[in-house]
């Protein structure tokens, strides 16, 4: 399968991020907790190498908790800041705030020592499409601020949004694109709704999903689709699910394309359990 995903604005986006990075203290890099490795872009992380980075494993509620724990363990062991978050519920956001404050502390002390005004920490949020940047931002906005809505920072006009008393956020999020290095990675990103739906075949993504389900969640999968036993043949299996679900074309034949779309949306909604697609390195 070929993933046709070459955003024409990539070069400009990269340049914008490079410029904007100069203005921030800390970069909050959002990745999908179900594929923390596949969502990253090493080139862009290289651009941000002189900044403090906090990796946020978002959509933690949809990922396998054991896998998330292992990923966090590895990242922490490498000395990276990493926090698992559910932005919809605001879970983990307080920890992010604490990690930000801790990461800014040395700069704050430095300002104090030099008799300079303590200014709010300046943040940039980056991540691939649909990873939850906007949702995360809303959850970061302090309660008090939420009532009045984010307001422009006092210092730099429209460019900054004061999200909390002690934090300003660049108003244009750094939109990253994943670096797609293998067919499997492309399939993962398609399944996670990170690459546009015109760039992949749902049927092929569903076949990949079936493979993942067989390995990771055979029971949930079998009971969710009410399958008594499963064949080894995934194309056949897709047809069986079509029949069970009443996904039929005129004439009563199974409509596996429709089933493919349904299964992908079941996965995305978490109906098939908490499944992490990336394996530990």
The H or E element containing residue 238 is helix 234-245
Judged by beta carbon, residue 134 or residue 155, the one nearer Mg ion is 134
**Residue 232 backbone dihedrals phi, psi, to 5 degrees:** -80, -15
Judged by beta carbon, residue 88 or residue 217, the one nearer ligand GDP is 88
134 binds Mg ion (CB under 5 A): yes
Smallest separation, CB 119 to ligand GDP (Å): 26
Which residues, 12 to 71, sit near ligand GDP by CB under 6 A?
58-59, 61-62
Residue 184 binding partner per list Mg ion, ligand GDP, none, with a CB distance cut-off of 5 to 8 Å that depends on partner kind: none
Smallest separation, CB 269 to ligand GDP (Å): 8
Smallest separation, CB 199 to Mg ion (Å): 19
For residues 204 and 238, is the Cβ–Cβ distance under 8 A? Answer: no
Q: Which residue is nearest to ligand GDP (CB)?
A: 132
For residues 56 and 28, is the Cβ–Cβ distance under 8 A? Answer: yes
In 3D space, the residue among 121, 122, 123, 139 whose CA is nearest the CA of residue 58 turns out to be 139
Mask 135-164, x = binds ligand GDP (CB under 6 A)? x-----------------------------
Smallest separation, CB 84 to ligand GDP (Å): 9
Q: Tokens in use for 98?
A: 């604490």
Smallest separation, CB 268 to ligand GDP (Å): 9
In 3D space, the residue among 155, 135, 6 whose CA is nearest the CA of residue 58 turns out to be 135
For residues 28 and 272, is the Cβ–Cβ distance under 8 A? Answer: no
For residues 208 and 191, is the Cβ–Cβ distance under 8 A? Answer: yes
Q: Tokens in use for 86?
A: 């559910």
CA distance linking residue 176 with residue 41, whole number of Å: 7
Among 21, 72, 93, 131, binds ligand GDP (CB under 6 A): 131
Binding site for ligand GDP (CB under 6 A): 58-59, 61-62, 86-88, 127, 129-135
């Amino acid at each position: 399968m070929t993933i046709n995903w070459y955003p024409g604005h990539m070069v400009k986006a990269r340049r914008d991020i490079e410029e904007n990075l100069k203005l921030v203290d800390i970069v909050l890099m959002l990745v999908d907790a179900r594929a923390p490795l596949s969502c990253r872009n090493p080139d862009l992380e290289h651009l941000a190498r002189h900044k403090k980075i906090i990796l946020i494993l978002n959509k933690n509620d949809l990922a396998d908790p054991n896998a998330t724990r292992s990923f966090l363990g590895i990242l922490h062991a490498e000395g990276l800041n990493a926090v698992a978050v559910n932005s919809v519920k605001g879970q983990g956001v307080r920890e992010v705030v604490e990690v930000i404050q801790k990461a800014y502390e040395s700069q704050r002390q430095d300002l104090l020592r030099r008799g300079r005004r303590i200014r709010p920490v300046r943040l940039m949020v980056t991540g691939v499409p649909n990873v939850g940047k906007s949702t995360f931002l809303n959850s970061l906005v302090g309660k008090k601020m939420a009532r009045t809505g984010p307001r422009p920072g006092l210092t730099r006009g429209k460019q900054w949004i004061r999200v909390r008393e002690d934090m300003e956020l660049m108003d244009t999020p750094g939109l990253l694109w994943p670096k797609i290095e293998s067919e499997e990675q492309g399939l993962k990103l398609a399944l996670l709704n990170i690459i546009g739906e015109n760039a992949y075949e749902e049927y092929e993504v569903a076949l990949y999903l079936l493979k993942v389900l067989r390995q990771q969640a055979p029971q949930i999968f079998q009971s969710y689709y009410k399958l008594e036993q499963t064949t080894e043949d995934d194309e056949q299996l897709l047809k069986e699910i079509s029949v069970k679900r009443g996904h039929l074309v005129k004439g009563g034949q199974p409509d596996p394309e429709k089933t493919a779309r349904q299964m992908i949306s079941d996965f995305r909604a978490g109906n098939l359990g908490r499944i992490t697609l990336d394996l530990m390195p």
